[in-house]
């Protein structure tokens, strides 16, 4: 099975906004060099998730993990993203899509943020 990871963010008109997500992608690529890692965005930035999934499908991806890079879980993470993933499942039935919880729901990240805040 050929797997890949997409780090999914909201997007912004400000190109500097992408830097943290792209830094995470680079760290993931360094840790697992053979793993295709992409960034995709809901709006205001390119590429979007459908473009990214189509590119990875062309590369032969059969398992795609989508990691929402959201601290808070609002409407985009609760409603928009699951609907988008369902549409991708219909469009790319050869790919097993795995939608992870938002990173802000992971206790490890919350612990790290608390340590950073403590200084």
Would you say residue 62 has pLDDT above 80?
Answer: yes
Q: Could you give the strand order of the β-sheet that contains 3-9, starting from the edge strand earlier in sequence?
A: 37-41, 3-9, 63-68, 96-99
Q: Look up the domain containing 76 and give its range.
A: 3-118
**Binning pLDDT at 50, 70 and 90, where does residue 87 land?**
very high
What's the structural domain count of the chain?
A: 1
Q: Which residue has the higher pLDDT, 73 or 4?
A: 4
SS3 101: coil
pLDDT tens digits, residue range 1-52? 699 999 999 999 998 999 999 999 999 999 999 999 999 999 889 999 999 9
d(CA 61, CA 54): 10
Residues that are catalytic: 10
> At 32, which CATH number?
3.40.50.1400
Would you say residue 106 has pLDDT above 70?
Answer: yes
């Amino acid at each position: 099975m050929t797997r890949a990871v997409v780090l999914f963010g909201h997007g912004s008109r400000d190109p500097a906004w992408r830097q943290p997500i792209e830094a995470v992608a680079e760290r993931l690529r360094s840790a697992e060099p053979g793993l295709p890692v992409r960034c995709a965005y809901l709006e205001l930035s390119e590429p979007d998730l459908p473009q990214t999934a189509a590119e990875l499908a062309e590369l032969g991806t059969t398992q795609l993990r989508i990691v929402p890079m959201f601290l808070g879980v609002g409407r985009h993470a609760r409603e928009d993203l699951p609907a988008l993933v369902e549409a991708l499942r219909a469009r790319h039935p050869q790919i097993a899509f795995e939608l992870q919880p938002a990173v802000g729901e992971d206790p490890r990240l919350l612990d790290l943020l608390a340590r950073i805040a403590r200084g």
